[in-house]
Amino acid sequence: MRKHFGPAVLIAITLTGASFVIAKSLAVPRQDTEAREQEKLAREAKISKEQAQQIALKRAPGNVESGELEREHGKLVYSFDIRNSKGTITEVQVSAISGKVVRVEHETKKQEAAEKKKKKG
């Protein structure tokens, strides 16, 4: 039994190391994929994120907490979460093609907490 112990430990260590390397390599492509997708969407956009942000702030004055370019319901939009003077969030979506406001949604504190939880998870 003892003579098989050494090779068994060596195999276990090798497999553990290989598992770590494989897991780590799988995490990197996801980030690369997201970056490539953002680059692809940005090439399709006709207005810049900065221009879209100015349009959004005219519709809902406040401080932009986050902004991203995304495809939603088949439309390419910049989506901004803007915190107003009352402390609530208004999400404003601006068409990345026409520059028109396509959606405005006021979030309740409960909705805001749910969205934060969803982004972390």
Domain count, the chain: 2
pLDDT digits (tens, 9 = 90+) for 4-49: 665 665 555 555 544 555 555 555 566 788 888 888 888 999 999 9
pLDDT of residue 30: 67
Return d(Cα 57, Cα 44) in angstroms, integer: 23
Q: Is there a single domain that holds both residue 37 and residue 52? A: no
What are phi and psi for residue 81, nearest 5 degrees?
A: -100, 120
Q: Is there a single domain that holds both residue 55 and residue 40? A: no
pLDDT of residue 27: 57
Q: Is there a single domain that holds both residue 31 and residue 53? A: no
The pTM of this model reads: 0.67
Helices (H), the chain: 2-44, 49-59, 109-120
Region of 73 please: left (phi>0), alpha (psi -120 to 50) or beta.
Answer: left
pLDDT digits (tens, 9 = 90+) for 72-119: 999 999 999 999 998 899 999 999 999 999 999 998 777 777 777 777
Q: Is there a single domain that holds both residue 76 and residue 111? A: yes
Q: Is there a single domain that holds both residue 65 and residue 76? A: yes
Q: Which two tokens stand for residue 79?
A: 């989506």
Q: Is there a single domain that holds both residue 10 and residue 29? A: yes
